[in-house]
Chain A
């Protein structure tokens, strides 16, 4: 099974600033996913991060706002840039364990509040 360490667990940031969230996995994984969960809503996929290539963004999310790095098979970062209060959310990273495992692996989440 994969263990994911995500940090920070929470932060309060000023509008206009940027925050980088880190996700470290204890084993090599092909794909990592970044999600956003806003209050009262379901998870929304932001992007898929593959090692050695640019992240693939879902509709409504752009690289300038959410730049992602994936320097190796165990690590990824998501940056929330030029933050506004609308960016206040929980951000989650997840790894693709299919087809070897049946579990879905998530980081602990980063709760971001923008003031």
Chain B
């Protein structure tokens, strides 16, 4: 089974609407990264969360890591066509030293209708 579950798989919203993407694990997340990818481009780093209860915002995008450090959400307020793309969460699930490879969710494809 997927270690990092990302939902929904795809999302179509009307411009101006709010939306939330979730990333959930049964294991503790020692670092949680959110990325965005547009067609033909590489991943763009959005935010990184490490502490339980941490919340970060950049422009209209807010990401949170829950207190238990097993779930993160990405919230977009008043979506715009420029927000369209694939959103991907990546997590450091390695508690020991010497291993830092990220595990990735499957991505959420966001379409914003003008």
Contacts and interface: CB of A to CB of B under 8 A. Distances in A.
B75 to A, nearest CB: 19
B81 to A, nearest CB: 15
B107 A104 contact: yes
B36 to A, nearest CB: 11
A111 B42 contact: no
B29 interface: no
Interface stretch (A11-19, A64-72, A74-82, A94-102): A94-102
A45 B41 CA distance: 10
A96 B45 contact: no
A77 to B, nearest CB: 18
B42 A42 contact: no
Interface in B66-114: 86, 88, 90, 100-102, 104, 106-109
Interface in B24-55: 31, 33, 35, 37-43, 45, 48
A39 B102 CA distance: 10
B106 A104 contact: yes
B33 A43 contact: yes
Given A43-B33, A96-B39, 20 more contacts: A33-B42, A33-B43, A35-B42, A37-B101, A39-B100, A43-B43, A43-B90, A43-B102, A45-B43, A48-B41, A58-B42, A94-B43, A96-B37, A98-B37, A98-B40, A99-B109, A102-B108, A106-B104, A109-B101, A111-B101
> Shortest 7 CB-CB distances between A and B: which pairs?
A45-B42, A102-B109, A104-B107, A98-B39, A103-B106, A33-B42, A42-B45
